[in-house]
Structure formats: C-alpha cells, structure tokens
A = this chain, B = another copy of it.
C-alpha cells in the first residue's frame, strides 16, 4: 500500500491519483501549522472531503506523515551517499552536498518544513523510525566529509564536525522561506550563498 503511491511533487506528468492529491494537500497543511496542530478535519476540508473519508485512502494521520517524508528522505540520502562516496576534494564534495540539499528543499518545500519543525516529535511516532534512521545516516555522511576535509588539511583544525553539520542542516532546512513569498529566490543562488558562507565565511579572503 505504501509502495504504490508516491506523493512527492515531482510526479506531475498526467494522472495524479486522488490519493496523491490529498497527500500533497496534507503536506501543505502540515508545513503551515505543524503536524500535531493540523487536524484531519483541516486536511479533509482543504481537500474538499470529510475527515472520515480520508481513512479510505490512509490508515492514519501518522501514516500520511510517514508516506510523505520517507521517499523524500530516501532520495536525499541516496544523493548524499553518492556524493560522499565520490573521490572529489572535501570542499568540493561539501559544496555539492549543500547545493543538492538546498535543491531538494526547494523541490519539496512542505516536507522540508516538516523536517524543520516536527522532527522533534518523530520519536513519538513509531512509523517514522525509518525516517529518523535516514536522518541520522544523512548527518553521519555529511560529518564524514567534514572529517575527511580536516584530515586532509583542507579544512581548519579544531573544527567540530557535528556542530558544523548541525548548523548546516538547520540552515538548509530553513531555506524554504526564500523560495516563496514576494521575491522568490533561485535555489541555485541560495545554495551557492550557503556554500560560500560555510566554506569561506563572511570575512574577505582577508588574505590581502
């Protein structure tokens, strides 16, 4: 049941099933109000349906969340694995990681906001264990790249890899705010700006 449907926004070609449609509507609601504060009534009425009818499509509210987040996270970790396994220099790899992460955030803004705001409560939703596992793996992959950079002498010594990864993740998860609103920015530029910031810092290559 969970494998047949993929609600991610990129399935845009032709026959988006009603199920997927509902799922993406739910994602928006979850993103706006938070998972806990979004009621099935909210979702139902946004989808033009009664809340009880949602249960013909999904087993539970929690399952909707899982079904939204798992594929997104799977794809992301897939990218990270490939990049982290590559042989490029650490700085180059890290820049690629940041850019792909921002690109994914831009493509799945609702899910990204859910990660940002609701990850804390995932531990209380057993169904989300696989998602949490992937989140942990993602963090490890990023950290390994940074540690490699330090070992290679590419990055400064004394850098705390875990702290840096946390800062980067937080930053990436918050980029969704730049992709909508009055002056939406290009994901590519935001990704570059973030990579520049974390790699080179604010200061001029003072080196002057």
Chain A interface (Cβ < 8 Å from any Cβ of B): 33-34, 36-37, 91, 94, 117, 120-121, 146, 149, 153-156, 158-160, 163-164, 166-167, 170-171, 173-175, 177-178, 190, 193-194, 196-208
Contacts and interface: CB of A to CB of B under 8 A. Distances in A.
Contacts of A193: 158-160, 163
Contacts of A202: 91, 94, 146, 149, 155-156, 159, 164, 198-201
A204 B163 contact: no
A194 B165 CA distance: 11
B199 A201 contact: yes
A34 B120 contact: yes
Contact of A208 (B120, B174, B175, B205): B205
Contacts of A155: 202-204
Each complex incorporates copies of this chain amounting to 4
Given A94-B202, A202-B94, A167 B156 contact: no
Given A36-B34, A37-B121, A167-B194, A201 B200 contact: yes
Contacts of A177: 166
Given A166-B174, A205-B205, A156 B34 contact: no
Q: Majority SS of interface residues in chain A?
A: helix
A205 B173 CA distance: 27
B171 A204 contact: no
A117 B34 CA distance: 10
Given A159-B202, A208-B208, A197 B121 contact: no
B178 A171 contact: no
Given A146-B202, A164-B197, A166-B171, 13 more contacts: A36-B36, A37-B121, A91-B202, A153-B204, A159-B202, A163-B175, A163-B194, A170-B174, A198-B202, A199-B203, A201-B202, A201-B203, A205-B206
8 interchain residue pairs of minimum CB distance: A201-B201, A170-B170, A207-B207, A167-B171, A200-B201, A155-B202, A205-B207, A199-B201
